[in-house]
């Protein structure tokens, strides 16, 4: 069913939303070089993300403007001006330098959403080192894999999170320092760790930003694929050109905006759009340490007078579930523009928010690898509910077949993009061959299936691979299967995404047992707890079915598609390669 289109905003509101009002003309005349000239740059053609997000504002009236409004999970609040953000980043940069961190070294941050997380990110970037943010719900295996693969030199974490994973240290010879942020809990008596207050807090608030080349590495985020462990998608400082441009033209950020991105910095949305896009545009950004709660979220919008809000479909579906009356109990009149990313946004959700909040959610599309938004429904344009929108200026996506041939409007195929946009990832860490394999026939292959309509709006169809999208988190089935088979009872495991009304998909595992184990409920619970302990709760299977043997191809690959078809009661499709017993 095609949903009614939502007209572009009335002319009276347009002064705040002028950016892509003349979309065709903006696209025609687009120049990344011109965008780059809107940024400051450093002498000699250098470019540094922290300089563009923070330092450059100190020469302007924004110096004493609030950059970060912070609310902790227990309701405590702090505010930081741009000048205070710079001081925090400078102390972190000085502290890290003292620990021996040099340009190109990897620093990882495994923290709750506290201000020190933000100072670490910007301090590391100032130093020319590479920052790797980790999701605070990760278990020991997830953290170890990332630190080991990247060869991280320093980990900044908290006593609570470190207690969860500290056994991994013996397996990480390259990890020289662990720095604990003790804002909530004092560190335990163990040795071998440093305290943030000593290593960073006592440092000078002056630091001269290292003159990074636009092509120097800046940020890496690990992302899941069908095979193997998560890969570190590495970005460069030049990505800030994309963050800034999309912050201006997609997030529609203006000087007086109070902006809230609900994503965690452990995922790419939380860095690109929780930090880089808003602050490079000089906006005030709200950081809330707590998790989802309909009442808490509506209260935050009311309390901080949030104007621009960027969130995700799972959260929106949970808000819908909380009822139409819930928002009515709050004054949400400050909101002027809302967006969503990370999973398909149901057209019902767009229509719901238009009816209940008076504002439709604007869907947009991108990936860890693309670094920034590439396709969007823009503030000044008509929305087609269910569509991801139209290409950002300077971006050339297409629907192609498996041979790289462009398909006409209406036909489903592979979503691909012409390489070369500023925020494009530059490698998978330690895995150049895999990186190269993502580029074929002159296209970057996104791994998504989609179609384009006659007016150039893109519509998401599904993933081309077995990667699971649960509540906006990508989960590689192989990663989960590998953990499951570490359990002594498990012989083999096959993992799929099972459709779910709220999270879109939940992780479901099929396991066969070793001889001598009985498929009991207790064993099921035990295996689930085992997986949760090693992976993040969001990644561990929510359901486990015992099965005598897993369907496999003749070459021994688990046929996840068949498991899924059976789970959903769908036709099993081509099973000609199925192994015969
Ligand atoms: O499958 C697409 C889905 O999420 C993937 C990217 O996930 P990740 O690398 O974790 O990046 C998170 C930052 C957005 C995509 O390949 N996806 C993302 N946005 C949408 C989406 N699927 C449908 N509609 C979207 N708007």
The CATH number of the domain where 481 resides is what?
3.30.300.30
Length of the chain: 581
The span from the CA of 527 to the CA of 27, in Å, is 52
**For residue 49, what is the DSSP state?**
H
Asked if residue 545 is part of any domain, the answer here is: yes
Asked if residue 491 is part of any domain, the answer here is: yes
Q: Which residues contact 100 (CB under 8 A, 6 or more apart)?
A: 153, 176
Q: How far is the CA of 230 from the centre of ligand 1 (A)?
A: 16
Q: How far is the CA of 64 from the centre of ligand 1 (A)?
A: 36
- Calculate the alpha carbon distances from 421 to 62, 231, 329, 499, 537 in Å: 29, 21, 44, 33, 34
Specify the long-range contacts of residues 511-516, CB closer than 8 Å, at least 24 apart: 511/484, 511/544, 511/545, 511/546, 511/547, 512/546, 512/547, 512/548, 512/549, 512/550, 513/489, 513/546, 514/488, 514/489, 514/490
pLDDT tens profile 444-479: 999 999 999 999 999 999 999 999 999 999 999 998
The number of the ligand 1 atom at minimal distance from the alpha carbon of 233 is: 9
Q: How far is the CA of 74 from the centre of ligand 1 (A)?
A: 31
Asked if residue 506 is part of any domain, the answer here is: yes
Residue nearest (by alpha carbon) to ligand 1 atom 7: 367
Task: Please say whether the beta carbons of 448 and 415 come within 8 A.
Answer: yes
Residues 98-119 as b/e (b if ≥16 CB within 10 A, e otherwise) read: ebebeeebbbbbbbbbbbbbbb
Q: Containing domain of residue 545, as a range? A: 468-568
Asked if residue 478 is part of any domain, the answer here is: yes
**For residue 43, what is the DSSP state?**
G
Give mean pLDDT in consecutive 10-residue pieces for the chain, a chain of 581 residues: 84 73 92 97 97 98 98 97 98 98 98 98 98 95 96 97 95 98 84 94 97 98 89 98 97 96 97 98 98 97 98 96 95 96 94 95 98 96 94 98 97 97 98 97 97 97 93 92 94 94 95 96 96 88 95 85 91 63 40
Q: What is the pLDDT, as a whole number, of residue 238? A: 98
Nearest to 385 by CA among 339, 355, 347, 340: 347
Structure tokens at 499: 């459709």
Name the domain count of the chain.
1
Residue nearest (by alpha carbon) to ligand 1 atom 19: 342
Asked if residue 386 is part of any domain, the answer here is: no
Q: How far is the CA of 474 from the centre of ligand 1 (A)?
A: 8
Asked if residue 499 is part of any domain, the answer here is: yes
Asked if residue 269 is part of any domain, the answer here is: no
Asked if residue 559 is part of any domain, the answer here is: yes
**Ligand 1 pocket mutation, candidates 264, 270, 343, 473, criterion most atoms within 8 A of CB:** 343
Q: Which residues contact 502 (CB under 8 A, 6 or more apart)?
A: 314, 317, 318, 321, 471
Q: How far is the CA of 424 from the centre of ligand 1 (A)?
A: 15
Pocket of ligand 1 (CB under 6 A): 223, 268-269, 341-344, 363-368, 388, 446-448, 460, 463, 469, 474
Residue nearest (by alpha carbon) to ligand 1 atom 15: 367
Task: Please say whether the beta carbons of 222 and 434 come within 8 A.
Answer: no
* pTM for the full predicted model: 0.94
**Ligand 1 pocket mutation, candidates 469, 470, 471, criterion most atoms within 8 A of CB:** 469
Q: Which residue has the tokens 């560190």?
A: 187
Q: How far is the CA of 370 from the centre of ligand 1 (A)?
A: 10
End-to-end CA distance of the chain: 44
Q: What is the pLDDT, as a whole number, of residue 581? A: 40
Q: How far is the CA of 468 from the centre of ligand 1 (A)?
A: 11
């Amino acid at each position: 069913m095609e949903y009614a289109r939502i007209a572009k905003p009335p002319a009276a509101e347009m002064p705040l939303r002028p950016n892509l009002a003349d979309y065709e003309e903006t696209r025609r005349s687009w120049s990344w070089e011109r965008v780059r000239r809107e940024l400051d740059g450093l002498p000699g053609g250098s470019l540094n993300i922290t300089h563009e997000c923070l330092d450059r504002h100190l020469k302007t009236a924004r110096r004493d403007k609030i950059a970060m409004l912070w609310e902790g999970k227990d309701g405590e609040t702090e505010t930081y001006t741009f000048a205070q953000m710079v001081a925090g980043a400078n102390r972190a940069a000085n502290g890290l330098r003292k620990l021996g961190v040099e340009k190109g070294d990897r620093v990882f941050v495994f923290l709750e959403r506290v201000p020190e997380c933000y100072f670490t990110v910007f301090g590391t970037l100032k130093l020319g080192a590479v920052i790797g943010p980790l999701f605070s719900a990760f278990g020991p295996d997830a953290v170890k894999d990332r630190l080991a693969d990247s060869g991280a030199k320093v980990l900044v974490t908290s006593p609570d999170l470190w207690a969860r994973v500290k056994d991994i240290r013996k397996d990480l010879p390259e990890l020289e320092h662990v720095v604990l942020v003790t804002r909530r809990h004092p560190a335990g008596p163990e040795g071998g760790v440093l305290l943030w207050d000593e290593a960073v807090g006592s440092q000078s608030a002056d630091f001269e930003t290292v003159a990074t080349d636009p092509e120097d590495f800046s940020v890496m985020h690990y992302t899941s694929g069908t095979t193997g462990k998560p890969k570190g998608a590495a970005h460069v400082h030049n990505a800030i050109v994309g963050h800034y441009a999309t912050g201006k033209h997609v997030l529609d950020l203006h000087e007086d905006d109070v902006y809230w991105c609900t994503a965690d910095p452990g995922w790419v949305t939380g860095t690109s759009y929780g930090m880089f896009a808003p602050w490079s545009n000089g906006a005030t950004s709200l950081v809330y340490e707590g998790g989802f709660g309909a009442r808490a979220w509506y209260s935050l919008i009311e309390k901080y007078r949030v104007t621009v809000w960027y969130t995700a479909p799972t959260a929106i579906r949970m808000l819908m579930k909380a009822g139409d009356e819930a928002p009515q109990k709050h004054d949400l009149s400050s909101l002027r523009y809302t967006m969503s990313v990370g999973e398909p946004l149901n057209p019902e959700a767009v229509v719901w928010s238009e009816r209940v909040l008076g504002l439709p959610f604007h869907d947009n599309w991108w990936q860890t690898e693309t670094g920034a938004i590439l396709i969007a429904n823009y503030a000044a344009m008509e929305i087609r509910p269910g569509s991801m929108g139209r290409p950002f200026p300077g971006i050339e996506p297409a629907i192609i077949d498996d041979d790289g041939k462009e398909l006409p409007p209406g036909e489903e195929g592979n979503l691909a993009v012409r390489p070369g946009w500023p925020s494009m990832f530059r490698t998978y860490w330690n895995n150049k061959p895999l990186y190269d394999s993502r580029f074929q026939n002159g296209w970057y292959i996104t791994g998504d299936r989609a179609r384009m309509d006659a007016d150039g709006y893109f519509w998401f169809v599904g993933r081309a691979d077995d990667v699971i999208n649960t509540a906006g988190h990508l989960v590689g089935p192989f990663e989960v299967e590998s953990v499951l088979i570490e359990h002594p009872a498990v012989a083999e495991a096959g993992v799929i995404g099972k459709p779910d009304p709220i999270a879109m998909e939940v992780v479901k595992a099929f396991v066969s047992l070793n001889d001598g184990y009985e498929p009991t409920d207790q064993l099921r619970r035990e295996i689930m707890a085992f997986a949760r302990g090693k992976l993040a709760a969001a990644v561990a299977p929510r359901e486990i079915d015992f099965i005598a043997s897993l369907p496999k191809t003749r070459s021994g690959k688990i046929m996840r598609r068949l498991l899924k078809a059976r789970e959903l009661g769908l036709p099993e499709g081509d099973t000609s390669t199925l192994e015969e017993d």
